[in-house]
Structure 1
Amino acid sequence: MGCRIADSVFLFVNPKPGQIRSQRITTHLSPGIHHSTWDGLLQKGEKEKHGLFHLRRTKPVQAVAVPVVPSSADSAQYRKQLAESYGFRQIGEPLPRNITLKEIIDTLPKKVFEIDDVKAWKSVLISATSYALGLFMISKAPWYLLPLAWAWTGTAVTGFFVVGHDCAHKSFSRNKLVEDIVGTLAFLPLIYPYEPWRFKHDRHHAKTNMLVGDTAWHPILKEEFDSSPLFRKAIIYGYGPFRPWMSIAHWLMWHFDIKKFRPNEVKRVKISLACVFAFMAIGWPLIIYKTGIMGWIKFWLMPWLGYHFWMSTFTMVHHTAPHIPFKSSEEWNAAQAQLNGTVHCDYPHWIEVLCHDISVHIPHHISARIPSYNLRAAHKSIQDNWGKYLNEATWNWRLMKTIMTMCHVYDKDENYIAFDKLASEESQPITFLKRVMPDYA
């Protein structure tokens, strides 16, 4: 809870059952559709389900969800309606609790775990050349093309993060010293200390979507939301319009505080911090000396903000949706969290190439030992064997709008309650996003 409070404060600063908010009702439902707890709604199956009345569109209207007599075929139709509303291609069936993570791993081909040095170093070459090209474009681009150059360069430098990410998971090289060196160097342009991030990230994999235990982003707890007006305003902005850059606060508050790490981790944490501070002490003054403050903004800061856009976007899309629950440690199930609680999202091809397929995220959570260049083969195997349980999407505005305007405060029964349902007068940033963000899927 402390990291969530710190993250939000540092940042630059569903409707109730029976209602559905809709901007327009056509052949799909808008992102305001209300949901019930996924397990409760779908696993009860024959006992309880919501039917949806479709209203003919003549003007903005309220649609109503009314309990109806369930039938076994309705759950698939209901998931399809939710998928269209939230911006997903598919919302998977709930995974039975008796399925174990080992059973899922055992269905994967052994070759997807194999490390290929040529492919690993090819990813380094792709990132280095694409980043160098980006810096060249920034140096030559007229002012009106700089945003395109920054978008390319920020995406390219995200590839360095993915290389370091593989090193941290011991899926880059058979030589662990090489992995530590490459991972540390890959993270330096991002001002990311490698070891602190690795320790934190390992806990994210061990406790994915576990309330409090997961070290990635959580829903806000109701007691946090009610703790103070200033904090409430900060998190409304942080989990609303600033959410695509929320990882900046998370990065600063999680990775530089030695007190957050175990005693046996502190030595390696200090080495990583020394590397980062040395890079800043040498690299930043050199950039400023050669190009001035504006050069530092052009060549480092703007691509860095582009990287954090992807860091934040990938993180929230992979694990955040109205139907995906965070669970207490007592209720948490590893297989459900990693297979059912992780989202596969397709992005434009150039982004996936530069970011080394990190968006193929379900197999990475099934086993973090799968190298990034084998994630697609692993995903194909998971589709063949467990396809009906997968949550899949193609990146679109409706998906982003769903996350940024609905997935806010934790609720055990509904998973999330939107800020504007709890504090409508203070939630103008959320109502603004609902008004201006497109519904394009």
Structure 2
Amino acid sequence: MSVQSELTGRAGASGVNGTATETIVPKRAIDTNGQVFEVPDYTIKDILSAIPKQCYKRDLWWSLHYVVRDIAAIVVIGYVGTNYIPVWFPSSAFARAAAYMVQSYLMGLFGFGLWILAHECGHSAFSASNAVNDTVGWVLHSWWMVPYFSWKFSHSKHHKATGHMTRDMVFVPYTQKEFLEAKNKSKLSEIFEEAPIVTLFNLVAQQIGGLQLYLATNATGQPYPGVPTFFKSHYWPTSPVFDPKDFWFIILSDIGILATLTANYLWYRAYGANVVLINWFVPWLWVNHWLAFVTFLQHTDPTMPHYDASEWTFAKGAAATIDRNFGFVGQHIFHDIIETHVLHHYCSRIPFYNAREATAAIKDIMGKHYRYDGENMWKSLWKVARSCQFVENNESKDGIYMFRNANKIGPSPKSEN
């Protein structure tokens, strides 16, 4: 069967006594790799029924032990580095600077681990107590300059509408028209191929400042035309990102940010700028990087669809995510947020330490629709940035949008055919 006929969504078949019948097959599209993508046909009930009951169990003390472990790792690394690096490298400023950067990097790894545990709190996966979840989550997220309740509310909406072109809250892709408008071009032929140096610059900017830009301006979220930039932010209590009932929770989130800034100012006054720089600011930059790195690659891939309102369902949207592999760090420091993200979108209240068992269960239901890539994630970051620039609907205009690009990777966008 040709690709064109595969996209029609119908195929002839013989019924009882040779009577001709028409069998409806799932809708299909062509992904950025030129392969046929088929829309999932199972239901959310099918998925949830397959998950073993023990996977839903939340153990407060087991969750807390991870918080203690990660904080202890940060404290030990900071203490050893701050006190012994000057002793180990007394005569070489370059060696001391390099050692301090390693120290900050390691602290950033465990710092992102703490961020993930706060993320578990926001989903009520940390414990059965909402009070415990919100207290732990508010403290941990605030320390890394993420407004806890603001993130919790917008992130919940993201989970409820993953892959939806007009309702998802994060990494909403450009349409071809929006991409061209952003480039101030009228057609793709005027862009030519984006130079690799431009891709690299955009990636560096995304990794360093992407999270803060999202929090401050809702960049990569829904556009909200007519609303001034800052008033769309996660810090503004009447932002259209939130519901009116969220007002005081947003204020509380902002108080957490101010408390962290105050603590760091007092830390600076007591011990100096270098101590704060090495033990908080640079690790904070790493936490920002890891969050942008992980979330971008969880929700962007050449095989990944998006849907408009006519085609989207929760089961389809949750499948528009991908599991990847980040080795020892992913499993033991980043708490499997990378390796079990598809399951997380189907049931976000399952704690991360039960997610591998639950993932194995839903893979049997999802079959070919389960998306996994074990490629080195740094390599994937580059490939995704080059190939996934905007989305377009296929020729049948059936509500399925696939990634395309101006770099001549994969099928040509329609306007260039």
TM-score (norm 2): 0.74
Residue type of the alignment partner of 2:323: H
Identity of aligned residues (%): 22
Q: Is the contact made by 1:164 and 1:187 (CA closer than 8 Å) also made in structure 2?
A: yes
Q: For residue 380 of structure 1, report the CA deviation from its aligned partner.
A: 1.6
| Unaligned ranges ≥5, structure 1 | 1-35, 48-74, 86-90, 423-441
Q: State how far apart, in whole Å, the 1-side matches of 2:71 and 2:36 are.
A: 38
Q: CA RMSD in A?
A: 3.2
Q: Secondary structure at the match of 1:349?
A: helix
Q: For residue 42 of structure 1, report the CA deviation from its aligned partner.
A: 7.2
- Tell me which residue corresponds to 2:22: none
- Tell me which residue corresponds to 1:247: 211
Correspondence list, 1:223-302, <5 A? 223-227=177-181, 240-245=203-208, 246-253=210-217, 254-260=233-239, 261-281=242-262, 283-302=263-282
Q: Is the contact made by 1:243 and 1:404 (CA closer than 8 Å) also made in structure 2?
A: no
Residue type of the alignment partner of 2:53: K
Say if 1:157 and 1:92 are closer, same or farther in 2 by CA, change over 3 A: farther
Correspondence list, 1:49-64, <5 A? none
Q: State how far apart, in whole Å, the 1-side matches of 2:403 and 2:302 are.
A: 6
- Tell me which residue corresponds to 1:318: 298
Cα deviations by residue, 1:396-439 (Å, 9 ceiling, x for unpaired): 143112211111122223722325469xxxxxxxxxxxxxxxxx
Q: Secondary structure at the match of 1:227?
A: helix
Residue type of the alignment partner of 2:214: H
Alignment of 1:352 onto 2:336: no
Q: Is the contact made by 2:118 and 2:137 (CA closer than 8 Å) also made in structure 1?
A: yes
Q: For residue 199 of structure 1, report the CA deviation from its aligned partner.
A: 0.3
Q: State how far apart, in whole Å, the 1-side matches of 2:357 and 2:8 are.
A: 30
Q: Is the contact made by 1:346 and 1:395 (CA closer than 8 Å) also made in structure 2?
A: yes
- Tell me which residue corresponds to 1:309: 289
- Tell me which residue corresponds to 2:405: 418
Q: For residue 108 of structure 1, report the CA deviation from its aligned partner.
A: 0.5
| Unaligned ranges ≥5, structure 2 | 13-27, 86-95, 186-190, 218-232, 395-400, 410-417
In the alignment, which of 94, 99, 102 is matched to residue 45 of structure 2?
102
Residue type of the alignment partner of 1:320: T
Say if 1:171 and 1:230 are closer, same or farther in 2 by CA, change over 3 A: same
Q: State how far apart, in whole Å, the 1-side matches of 2:290 and 2:203 are.
A: 16
Alignment of 1:221 onto 2:200: no
- Tell me which residue corresponds to 1:18: none
Say if 1:290 and 1:382 are closer, same or farther in 2 by CA, change over 3 A: same
Say if 1:263 and 1:251 are closer, same or farther in 2 by CA, change over 3 A: same
Cα deviations by residue, 1:36-94 (Å, 9 ceiling, x for unpaired): 99xx96785979xxxxxxxxxxxxxxxxxxxxxxxxxxx9xx99x95xx9xxxxx9973
Cα deviations by residue, 1:348-396 (Å, 9 ceiling, x for unpaired): 2134211211111111111111111111111121234434321112251
Q: For residue 148 of structure 1, report the CA deviation from its aligned partner.
A: 2.4
Q: Is the contact made by 1:154 and 1:304 (CA closer than 8 Å) also made in structure 2?
A: yes
Q: State how far apart, in whole Å, the 2-side matches of 1:301 and 1:291 are.
A: 14
Q: For residue 225 of structure 1, report the CA deviation from its aligned partner.
A: 3.1
Cα deviations by residue, 1:257-305 (Å, 9 ceiling, x for unpaired): 2232211011111112112212212x12122113323333222121111
TM-score (norm 1): 0.70
Alignment of 1:391 onto 2:371: yes
Q: State how far apart, in whole Å, the 1-side matches of 2:285 and 2:10 are.
A: 45
Deviates more, 1:152-161 or 1:343-352: 343-352
Alignment of 1:165 onto 2:119: yes
Q: State how far apart, in whole Å, the 1-side matches of 2:80 and 2:387 are.
A: 38
Q: State how far apart, in whole Å, the 2-side matches of 1:213 and 1:306 are.
A: 29
Q: Is the contact made by 2:179 and 2:389 (CA closer than 8 Å) also made in structure 1?
A: no
Say if 1:364 and 1:241 are closer, same or farther in 2 by CA, change over 3 A: same
